[in-house]
Structure 1
Amino acid sequence: MHDILVLYYSHHGSVKQLAQQIARGIESVPGCCARLRTVPKVSTVCEATAPSIPDSGAPYVAASDLAECIGIAMGSPTRFGNMAAPMKYFWDGTASEWSKGTLVGKPACVFTSTGSMHGGNETTLLSMMLPLLHHGMILLGVPFTEAALSITQTGGTPYGASHVAGITGDLPISDHEKQLCMALGKRLAETALKLNL
């Protein structure tokens, strides 16, 4: 089995739900297994520390996850058109992996959730691509051959999967959003297997 890292940060739960759908798409490909990981919150208090193991949900990501997985799906909520600080903080600490070329040639995709239709989904997806490009990864999006991309009234972009959670963050993931997440996860897994031959 080949592991594919599904790395996400989720504040209200929507990005976690997207990550689970991406994982379903990954695991629909024989020979692939999704490895769900998250990042700890960033505190404004300098002395604050997070437990080394989260109270619930996916474990925190480690450098070994980057090395051991043959592809990465990265997800974050939108923060003013950019990825959330905890995800940015994690990538800011990967200079050692960058200098070793740990991720060079591996495929990657991105996904996000925001409170409104025009809340910065696409710019957030683009912002998440930047560290991946610097690491030498091969970026994948959602092609328009995925029918849901052309008919969705909720989330979904060619840059990656997305969700519109509503101002209060309680809108459920739509069927089209689920389809696009699964399609993106499947595409990532199939590409990773081809590149890993």
Structure 2
Amino acid sequence: MALPKVFIISYSTYGHIHTVSQSIKEGLEKTGLVDIEHYQFPETLPDEVLGKMHAAPKPNIPVITVDKLTEADGFLFGFPTRFGAAPAQVKALFDATGSLWAKGALYGKPAGIFFSTGSQHGGQETTAFSFLPNLAHHGMIYVPTGFRNQNLFDNSEVVGGSPWGTGTVAGGDGSRQPNEKELSVAVTQGEEFAKVVARLSA
């Protein structure tokens, strides 16, 4: 019997979310419970603007399409914050899913979220919270991470993330990279999410 399929769908401007997504994928793979496909959100900005932003090169993974979404049994969405919410690139894809909504094509499918902010107080939890209406309108099941990883209790240094999902703090200039504790949370999120998808698909 085929394993349930999880899509990791990420948008990464400076590479932080892409790095986290690799640890998310590692956690999913460790369980052996799901098949994994990794996609990126379509870019909406022209190359000229991305160049002025000093954006990182796009990762070598396929771009997701609206029709492709129906093939997944579960989703892990990753993106940086824009003023405490998902960036326009993410919103643009979901704004195009009206036909899927009308058919209930994503109803009952589990979804988790991971995120990046420029600072500790840059809106990690609001980025996840403000994305929930997209899931609710499709009838998708939000799967938070909870406190399954002990690094979320660590106050000895900056550690992104929360019970809402894995997070990393990029720094105002993007120079801070995801640390081992944040990536450990990402692995845990992948592992726990795979277990939920497997139970729901059984």
TM-score between both structures, scaled by the size of structure 1? 0.89
* Structure 1 stretches of 4+ moved >4 Å: none
Tell whether the 8 Å contact from 1:7 to 1:61 is kept in structure 2 after alignment.
yes
1:110·1:129 contact (CA, 8 Å) conserved in 2? no
Which of 62, 85, 89 aligns to 1:82? It is 85
Q: C-alpha offsets along residues 114-143 of structure 1, whole Å, 9 cap, x if unaligned?
A: 111111111111122220121111111122
Match for 1:19: what amino acid? S
Deviation at 1:89, TM superposition (A): 0.4
Shift of 1:32: 1.3
User: What number of residue pairs does the alignment pair up?
Assistant: 189
Residue of structure 2 in register with 1:146 after alignment:
149
Tell me by how many angstroms 1:10 deviates: 0.6
* Conserved? CA contact 1:5–1:65, under 8 Å: no
Q: Could you tell me how far 1:64 is from its partner in structure 2?
A: 3.9
The CA distance in 2 between the partners of 1:174 and 1:128, in whole Å, is: 25
CA-CA distance at 1:181 after TM superposition: 0.8
> Relative to 1, partners in 2 of residues 1:59 and 1:151: Cα closer, same or farther, differing over 3 Å?
same
Structure 2: runs of 5+ lacking an equivalent: 47-56
Q: Distance in 2 between matches of 1:166 and 1:139?
A: 28
**Aligned-pair CA distance for 1:55:** 6.7
| C-alpha distance in structure 1 between counterparts of 2:58 and 2:150, whole Å | 39
Which amino acid is 2:18 matched to? K
Instruction: For residue 56 of structure 1, report the CA deviation from its aligned partner.
Output: 4.6
Query: Retained in 2: the 8 A contact 1:155–1:162?
Result: yes
Residue 93 of structure 1 is aligned with which of 96, 103, 113? 96
Query: What's 1:113 paired with?
Result: 116
Residue 129 of structure 2 is matched in structure 1 by 126
Q: What are the residue-to-residue correspondences of 1:21-100 with 2, within 5 Å?
A: 21-43=23-45, 56-100=59-103
TM-score with structure 2 setting the length: 0.87
